[in-house]
Amino acid sequence: MSQVTMPEENSLISLGIALLCVTIGLVPLWALLKSPLRQQPKGCRRIGLSNNSSNLADEFDQKYAQGTSPDQITVDSNGGHLPPWRVKALFTYPIKSCRGIELQTAHVVSTGLQFDRQFAFAERTSAGWTCRTLRNAGFQRLALIHTEIWIPDPSSREYDERRPEVQSGGVMQVSYPRPIPSGLHGLVIQMGITTRLLTARLSFRLPLHPASPTEYPTIPVKIWKDTPLAYDYGTHLPPSLHVYLGFDPNNSPLSLFRAHPSHRREIFRNAPRKEHLGFQPHTAFADAYPIHLLNITSHHDVAGRCAESIPHLSMRRFRANIIIQGPGPFAEDHWKKVLIGKTEVYAACRTVRCLLPNVDPDTGERHRAEPDRTLKAYRRIDEGDLTNACLGLQLVPAVQEFCLEVGDEVKVLETGSHRYIKMLAPGEKVEGV
């Protein structure tokens, strides 16, 4: 799928300034070209909530500081009854470590929420291609890379099965801050942004799925101890994205990979077995499990303890797929099986936290200590890993496909103890598991 870059305005003034700057060598051509037109991909519709709405808009409200009884009657603004324990928000993260998409309804597939962590950036090293995330030094800029998912819409007047957007199962629009170099070049670009002759963000599109199995090379990509084969989408990355992430566009070791449907990362540690479920749980580029759940009341407890260093610690730092409201602080620590809506899910283990939440999703800035320091001070509760803190649960669905919706009731079916098991190398086994 070709990339399109052209001026968004057709005024003679805009073109004149751009051509003059390029002609006298003030700015490289790619820096002055406009972002691709942000028109709707033909025959498609965008998934998710609008950019100015969120079910987490009130996440800092103190009403979430305490839990409620699962039997308490809750009434909405229209007088209808709401489940006291329910799904508050849903997120899918198409590119690992980049900004997520908030959903009202989520289709869940075998690897987790649809589109979740299907793509990941990787760096070529002496050991081969290795995934890079917000954890890695210098990669906190990933937080400011935004994604939109556009899927085929048969009800659209422009829908046509022959369109490339339809044949690839939809497209992903990726945007990122326009790189601004130092010196005179950067001054000219900044003036262009200020005067609205240039956009502050650049963007490009890529297909959600290869139109042909041979369209992209399949290459091993290391993620933790796994090395699955994945499609190399590097040809879609514009030079300016390499520059934004700190690489020379002419000799960049960076690429973007798409999970390959035939090379799954099967999950065995803490997870139910195929003999019980009828399938072995697996995931794409998620760290370890298909779904991550977070309780807003538990988060309030953590955020309150971090308030001096970070006055408003957003839940979005923890990059959960399902955010629930109702249970008291850390009630979920001992859940083993939960009914969400009409579907049973297994709690494989608690979520062991790393330094990733130290990165602010709105600024891309990394805090030197929080919330990791606060969490480790009182949440190192799992005997399987007393070095790190826990917050949230890692879930494995009991079925391979189902739907979730904001407002779905959450019921605890079974409680018990958890013990975290370390990441296993392929073929490695844990005694008794």
Interatomic CA distance for residues 227 and 223, integer angstroms: 6
Consecutive 10-residue averages of pLDDT for the chain (433 residues): 36 47 53 54 95 94 94 80 95 98 97 97 96 95 98 96 95 97 89 91 96 93 96 97 96 97 91 92 95 98 98 98 98 98 97 96 97 98 96 96 97 96 62 36
Measured in degrees and rounded to the nearest 5, phi and psi for residue 20 equal -65, -45
Can you give the pLDDT at residue 424? 60
Residues constituting the chain: 433
Q: In this structure, how many other beta carbons lie within 10 angstroms of the beta carbon of residue 354?
A: 14
Which residues pair with residue 252 across a beta bridge? none
Sign of CA dihedral 31, 37, 43, 47: positive
DSSP state of 285: S
Can you give the pLDDT at residue 17? 56
Can you give the pLDDT at residue 35? 44
Can you give the pLDDT at residue 432? 35
Using alpha carbons only, how large is the chain's radius of gyration in Å? 23
Interatomic CA distance for residues 320 and 87, integer angstroms: 12
Number of H helices, E strands in the chain: 8, 24
Can you give the pLDDT at residue 100? 97
Token digits for 11? 């005024």
Can you give the pLDDT at residue 51? 82
Interatomic CA distance for residues 51 and 56, integer angstroms: 12
| Cβ–Cβ under 8 Å, residues 392 and 338 | no
Quick: pLDDT tens for 374-422. Answer: 999 999 999 999 999 999 999 999 999 999 999 999 999 999 999 999 8
| Cβ–Cβ under 8 Å, residues 350 and 288 | no
Interatomic CA distance for residues 95 and 340, integer angstroms: 25
